[in-house]
């Protein structure tokens, strides 16, 4: 299964969801069908629970990078 649509866009595009599922059914491969159905269900669930809105509150780039050192005390 080749998915060229990002998950957030897929969650908001019902036509793309249908295309993904239809393409999986055309292969007649049970694993492809299960994968497509689970993927669409997952992104729809993430949309309805607000996960994508939460992630959109953060910048997409990691321009700051990881911290130089990480330390903690016990």
CB contact at 8 A, 52 and 8:
yes
Residue 52 — pLDDT band, cuts 50, 70, 90? confident
Is residue 20 classed exposed, middle or buried when 0-12, 13-18 and 19+ CB atoms within 10 A define those classes? buried
Q: What is the pLDDT of residues 1-30, one digit of tens each?
A: 555 568 888 999 999 999 999 999 999 999
- Looking at residue 24, its pLDDT comes to 96
pTM of the model: 0.69
């Amino acid at each position: 299964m080749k998915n060229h649509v990002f998950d957030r866009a897929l969650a908001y595009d019902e036509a793309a969801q249908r295309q993904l599922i239809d393409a999986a059914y055309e292969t007649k491969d049970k694993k492809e069908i299960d994968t497509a159905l689970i993927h669409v269900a997952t992104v729809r669930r993430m949309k309805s629970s607000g996960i994508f809105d939460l992630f959109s509150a953060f910048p997409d780039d990691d321009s700051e990078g990881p911290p130089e050192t990480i330390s903690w005390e016990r």
